[in-house]
Structures are given as C-alpha cells and as structure tokens.
Amino acid sequence: MNRYALPAATGAVLTLILSLSAGGLPTTASAATAAAATVQTPSVQGLPYDARRGVFTFASGLDASLPAVVQVTTLGQSRGPSSDHDPKPAQGGSGVIIDAANGIIVTNHHVIENGQKFTVDLIDGRLFDATLIGADKATDIAVLKIEASGLSQVQTVDSDTLRTGDLAFAVGYPLGLDQTLTMGVISGLNRSGMGDAIEDYIQTDAAVNSGNSGGPLLDSRGRLIGINTAILSGGMGGGNDGIAFAVPTRIMMFVVDQLRASGEVKRGQVGLAVGSLTAERARELGMSIVRGAVVYDAAPGSSADQAGLRAGDVVTRIQNRPVANAGSVQATVGIARPGAALPVVYLRDGRERTANLTVEASDPAAVRIGAHAAMARGLTFRNVSDGAQIAVVEAGSAAAAAGVQAGDVVVSADGAGVADMAGLARALEGTGAVALTVLRDGERTEISLPG
C-alpha cells in the first residue's frame, strides 16, 4: 500500500499530495422489537431531525462551521519560460479559520511548502493574500493569517474525547471542486508508524481526496477534531480507499500556540532511544505481545537514565496513553514542553514497572554515548560490523529533512572512515555541516547533514 498525504497542482503523485485551483418518524414492527432497540441503541428520536422537511440531517450542527473552511493556494516560481515574473500557482489545499478576530487559519505544512505567496478563498467569494506565521514539518501543521472582517471560525474540541465509531465529517476543496462535505466514522485512534514524523493520527473513512489537505475533520456538532493530512491508498493514483488520517487537535493546538507566539516549535527530550516492538523483536525478547516500544538505550545522565530505563525494556504506556509503537512515544514527547512530567509503564523480564520522565530542553548540538547506542543531531545509532547503523531518526530533525533513514549504515563522515558509533558521534560534534556516506540496500548514498 502507498501512503499519500493530500494533493499537488502539478498533477504528480506525491508522498504529500495537494490540489490546485471546492413526515414522520419510522415505526417499529412490534413492541418487542422496539424494546430491544431501546436497550441496544439510542432511540431514533435522538438523531437530528428536520420536522419541516421530514428528513434526518446534521446540517444544523455543521452550518456554522462551513463558512470557516477555506481554499488555500500556494504560489511559487514558474517552471517554464515566462515573461511574467509574478509567482505562479504551484499547489493548494484547504484550511480552516480557528480565530476569526485575528484571521488565523490552520492548514498543512505540505500545502504551503516552498511557497512564495499564499492566497485564501472564502466560501462567500472573497479572496485574500495570506501571511505565513509559521510551519512545523514534523506535525505537518502550518499557520496563515489574513486581514479580513466578517469571518467565521470553528469551535475546537479536545480530540482525546473521541471514540472509535463517532461520526466524522471531512470538509475541503477536493479535485478542483467547490467546498465539499463527506461523512464517515472515526475508524481508529493513535495511528502512527507511517513515516519520520510526529504521528498520533485520527483514522477515518470519510472520503478524503486530492485537495482536502489542511481541511478540517469535524464531529457531528461541527466542532474541529483534526486537520486532514494523509491518505493510505492501494492504487498508483493515490485515490480515496476509505483510509484517511488527520492530525488531532491535541497536537494541532500545541503546535499552533507556539507558532503564533514565536514562529517556531520548541520541543523537549527525555534521552530515550526507542524502536517499534515487531514480531521478530518480540520473539528475541521472549515476549508474547507485539505492541509497544523497545528501548535501545537511555542517554547517560538523561531523564530516562535517571528514571532507571535501560536497553531491552518495553514501554507499553506513556502519559496514561497506550503505546502502539515507537511513534506513540515520539508523539507524546514531541508535544511535551520542557519541565513536563511523563509517567511511563514498561516491561522488564516479564514484569510491569513504572517510572516518571521529566522532559528536558533539547540541545541540538549535544552528543551522548551510551552503552548500546549513541545520540546526536536527532539520530540514534549503534555499532554494526561495518560502521554505525542508524536506529532512530527523530521526527522533524535536520537529519530527517536531509533524508537519513533508519537502517542506513554510516561508513564515512567528511571523507573519514567511521568504524563504530563512537567514531560517528565524534564526527557529529559541533554545529557544522557534515557529509555522510551511508550504505542503503547495498548501495552507497551521499547525504549532506546541515549544521
């Protein structure tokens, strides 16, 4: 299957894809049937019902939110010869107004990426230039601002209140159409493990297509629960297969608040290097579960080290949330402010233990070497026979942006051979750029790691 994040005006299929340019109630058969229905499910009378038209509808709950959903167009340099030096439409998607008084719009990072200018179309036909306040690639969230009066905004609800089976509505401007609303359910929560990003997605089967990127996922009362960001497709064209993902408001608001305050997102760390608990790894550890995050190492002197965590421990819960894989841990730490306490539950030798991690301020230049792994510049690496193998790439780090992947084996840095993890750690000290040579699938690849 292919993972796509929503549509691009070029028409090409991207890992992140964008789009350019929007009577009476039924009676029961018998008293017994009615009684059973009352016990098993809420009464049909609880559904939104328009008596005047004689139809069931969610329109009354959604009407106030729809004017807050906008179309976002990103303009960049023309790809071909032109006598016009103005930026040309490059890609686009959707967005949603969360603060009408200040003209604040949330969309996806991949909608505005590499843009020189941004425009916003409202449902009433008005068009505005927008200013980019900030963007965060790790969560695929961006914030725009427009100067306008008479705006509407959505009400935001805590995504932690969601349950699988809740109704969900995706709104946006797909496939060049005008504003479009689709309905589905919450298919799953806490989805992760699909890439080098901070992932804790809401999964829905509401139809999401090219152009929906950055648009809202709403509940049945029209309240914002997430920002549509990606789809999983089995076909080559990246079309809707009923599996779509949204960034939950829990993560969105953490990012938006920081972008509005300072234009950037500052994250903490706990010094914990983890990987997903696969079936193979579970067999090696003699475990009968395949959900969790395996600790590769705890950086010396870090919060994880002080809490007593060590290589081979399996984290099953963090901050009272279940851990499905390494992405669950990265998502929780990735939106925690320095100083925050994160309770963890982990398994060691088949027994459940608890600890508390304190989030520390991140130091991108720090290099830490543990007994089993080393950490530097968002990378966790360990010894292998022919160099230092990358075990973890921190979401949103410069290393992730440069294209370093878990599994890469670094054999040289700035032309000097790398024999082990200590050698690579020394090469990554400081803040200067480093040219890495890695082995990937048996072939050498050159990667420039920025300073």
Strand partners, 144: 105, 132
φ, ψ of residue 174 to 5 degrees: the values are -80, 145
pTM of the predicted structure, to 2 decimals: 0.74
User: Is the confidence at residue 119, as pLDDT, over 90?
Assistant: yes
Residue 15: CB atoms within 10 A of its CB come to 12
Distance CA 257, CA 264 (A): 10
Q: What is the mean pLDDT of residues 190-196?
A: 71
Helix (H) or strand (E) holding 94: strand 88-99
Task: Specify whether the CB–CB gap between 134 and 172 falls below 8 A.
Answer: no
Q: Are 300 and 370 in contact (CB under 8 A)?
A: yes
User: Residues with Cβ < 8 Å from 263, sequence gap 6 or more?
Assistant: 133, 134
Nearest to 377 by CA among 426, 313, 443: 426
Joined together, the tokens standing for residue 383 give 């010894």
Cβ atoms within 10 Å of 436's Cβ, excluding its own:
25
What is d(CA 144, CA 113) in angstroms, rounded to the nearest whole number? 12
Asked whether the beta carbons of 263 and 133 are under 8 A apart, the reply is yes
Average pLDDT over residues 28-34: 42
The partner residues of 390 in beta bridges, in order of sequence, read: 381
Task: Please name every residue paired with 73 in a beta bridge, in sequence order, or none if there are none.
Answer: 92, 119
Instruction: Assign 369 to helix, strand or coil.
Output: strand
Average pLDDT of the chain? 83
Helical residues (DSSP H) of 229-381, grouped into ranges: 249-262, 279-285, 303-306, 326-334
- Label residue 439 exposed, middle or buried (CB < 10 Å: 0-12, 13-18, 19+): middle
Give the C-alpha separation, 351 to 404, whole Å: 35
pLDDT band at 3 (very low <50, low <70, confident <90, very high): low
Q: Give the pLDDT of residue 275.
A: 84
**Which residues are catalytic, by number?**
110, 140, 213
At 400-450, the pLDDT tens digits run 888 898 889 999 998 889 989 889 988 888 778 899 999 998 889 999 988
Residue 409's beta-bridge partner residues? 389, 439
